[in-house]
Amino acid sequence: MSSFVIPAWDLAHILGISFHPYCQPCYDACVDDFHIHIATANGFLELDMLDEAADALEEIQPHLRMRAEVLDVRAEIYCRLSRWEEMAAVGKLLAELYPEEATHHLTYAFAVRLADSLEAACEILNAVAHQFPDEAHFQYTLGSYESLLGLFERAFYHIRRALELDPPRASMALRDPDIEPLWDALQEVSDDAE
């Protein structure tokens, strides 16, 4: 069985690329513009100028708009606007396009938690937890979601792993209301043992 191949110049035309794929000066200019627009969008984000940040993203060449840097800014804009469903859609796209990055799965799960449910967010993280055993923030977030859901054995495992990876996080964990149900459950077990 043969596969269908689109010649590079046709693919460039379909994607809206305005330069020949083998023209290095055009490529370099496009990449330079990309970095300028990303820096501009991030600057507007720092100033909480969300419309201007979104406008800066629209200046990026269409074939570069699926890059992680662009999608990250777009997700942050949606987050600040409390547009959780849109943020979830962008988070899902990030997680699918860049699955090796734990932060993208966390972005997706966070948005789903607010747009849909904590259970759905926990499922998203559990589905990829095996990929990030050494990511403290990932382990901590998963543990906090499980704590809120009353899945204390699993929550304890993930929180303990996060604290092994990042011991200074322990002081935060002691004050984190998402983990309070876990501490309460551990206290009950301790009281019952006495």
The model's pLDDT over 112-162, given as tens digits with 9 standing for 90+, comes to 999 999 999 999 999 999 999 999 999 999 999 999 999 999 999 999 999
- In Å, how far are 15, 107, 120, 130, 147 from 125, measured between CA atoms? 33, 10, 9, 9, 14
What was the pLDDT predicted at 194? 63
- Locate the domains of the chain by residue range: 133-194
Better-scored residue on pLDDT, 26 or 79: 79
Name 91's Cβ contacts closer than 8 Å, sequence gap at least 6: 75, 104, 107, 108, 109, 110, 111, 112
Tell whether the model's pLDDT for residue 63 goes beyond 80.
yes
pTM (whole model) above 0.85: no
How distant is the alpha carbon of residue 25 from its chain centre? 33
What was the pLDDT predicted at 50? 97
Q: Give yes or no for a contact between 170 and 189, defined as CB atoms under 8 angstroms apart.
A: no
Tell whether the model's pLDDT for residue 110 goes beyond 80.
yes
For residue 9, what is the DSSP state?
H
Better-scored residue on pLDDT, 16 or 137: 137
Pinpoint the alpha helices (H) of the chain.
Answer: 8-14, 24-46, 50-58, 68-80, 84-97, 102-115, 118-128, 136-148, 152-165, 169-175, 180-193
